[in-house]
Amino acid sequence: MGEEAAAPLLGDVHLHLHGDNNRKEEEEKLPATTTTNRWMLEWDWEEAAGQLAFAAPMVATSMAYYAIPLVSVMYAGRLGDLQLAAATLGNSWGTVTGIALMTGLSGSLETLCGQGYGAKAYRMMGVYLQASMVTSALFSVVISLLWLYSEPLLVFLRQDPEVSRLAGVFLRYSIPAQFAYGFIQCTLRFLQTQSVVMPLVAFSLLPLAAHVGITHALVNVLGLGFAGAAMATSVSLWLSFLMLVAYVAFSGTFRETWGGFTAEAFRHVLPGMKLAIPSAVMVCFEYWSFEILVLLAGLMPESQLSTSIIAMCENTEAISYMITYGFAAVISTRVSNELGARNIANAKKALTVSLALSLMLGVAFLLLLGLGHEVWVRLFSNSEAVVSAFASMTPLLIGSVVLDSTQGVLSGVARGCGWQHLAAWTNLVAFYIIGLPLAILFGFAIGFQTKGLWMGQICGLLCQNCVLLFITLRTDWEKLDLTMINRDNDFVC
């Protein structure tokens, strides 16, 4: 596997990271300072442009899939306040217990397919895709059972019984969406690791546009009401998945990486779980920690105000992370491709650019939030108490957004390198041994209220960043063992 094996960042954007041998020989003869300046002037700008061109479609795709269930919640909300509360609760419960898990499980493909593509082990990529889908299907069955019996669980968690009953109905009709979403995430990773990202925008935005019509038809025209809103999410996500399947099956782009269905995939299900489960754990641990903050806010004296503030902060953080997600996808693909090709220097350079871009993104969001926080909060509430409380939280929220932008990139590196198990342990310690205990201490014992809760979360994010950065910088990448072993150009776990 020589230097020529590394894949370009995008199929139609060539970064010229691996120039011809003559150019390399000429650069070796130049003084070190001249070579460094040349790299700063030429390579960095090309890499940055390529990463931005990769990240933008991934951000658009992520937002489109986020919007599909949100539209269903909006249509349910038009039926009444009770339906709005139930749809919101059902959607939140479904995201916590299912969507986050499916997103994490598909992270194994960022390592397997990413490194396999860089090493030109193309045939195995389709095998890994099928194995990952089997894993997603198995876990979706378990989640489906949980969703079927969500009503008593929600009541046990002290939710309103009538809201819990309707939320259970919403979840039952959303079960097909759970399977579709898991399959979509696997397919997205398969395409992402081959730097095929622009088509993903179409295959997410078109179902989103159709979803509005589908939801209206099921809720209002066919008279299915509340259940129809949940059904619409399932229909639209399956439509998106079938579009992706047709694209992979009939496009000539994937002749080498998709060889059709094979029973060989079942042999890779259990080995693949060695990456899939830690990947899911690392995602869920972080996501759940934010949800726990909302529950803790409900235990404070002014619970309605504190819950609203923490929920708004969480939503703001989630929206900012959708943009960071694009750069996380970039660096995961770049690192895994270059490691598979054994181009360690290029992987490190890509990481440097991604971290710089993520910090610039964090600063941009800092300015937007700092200058426009009042406009933003009034989209949620006109209450002066809420506006004032959110304004006092803004400096803390800015800090967490900046930290979240860098940790997203470092988590992408972890997935590209196959360090999911290290990241999972890091998130466990950062959020549950450091972050949440400090949040309880600052929020309740010291009396900082909502500020204290978010300060504890910032401590967790800071710890997470420091540990992941330490692992990334201290690892000798030249001696890094790949997740897979090359055997006659076939990679196995």
Reported as a single tens digit per residue, the pLDDT across 404-460 is 888 888 998 888 888 899 999 999 999 999 999 999 999 999 989 889 999 999 999
Reported as a single tens digit per residue, the pLDDT across 17-49 is 333 334 444 444 444 444 444 434 344 678 888
Reported as a single tens digit per residue, the pLDDT across 55-110 is 889 989 998 998 899 899 889 888 888 888 888 888 889 988 999 999 999 999 99
Residue type present at position 122: Y
Question: Span 264-289, mean pLDDT?
Answer: 91
Query: In the predicted model, what is the mean pLDDT of the chain?
Result: 83
491 Cβ partners below 8 Å, 6+ apart? 112, 115, 116, 119, 121, 124, 484, 485
Higher pLDDT, 483 or 392: 392
Four-CA torsion 69, 74, 80, 82, nearest 10 degrees: 40
Question: Span 128-132, mean pLDDT?
Answer: 95
Global pTM value: 0.84
pLDDT, position 109: 92
CB atoms within 10 A of CB 409: 28
Highest mean pLDDT among 49-63, 296-310, 318-332 belongs to 49-63
Q: What is the CA radius of gyration of the chain?
A: 23
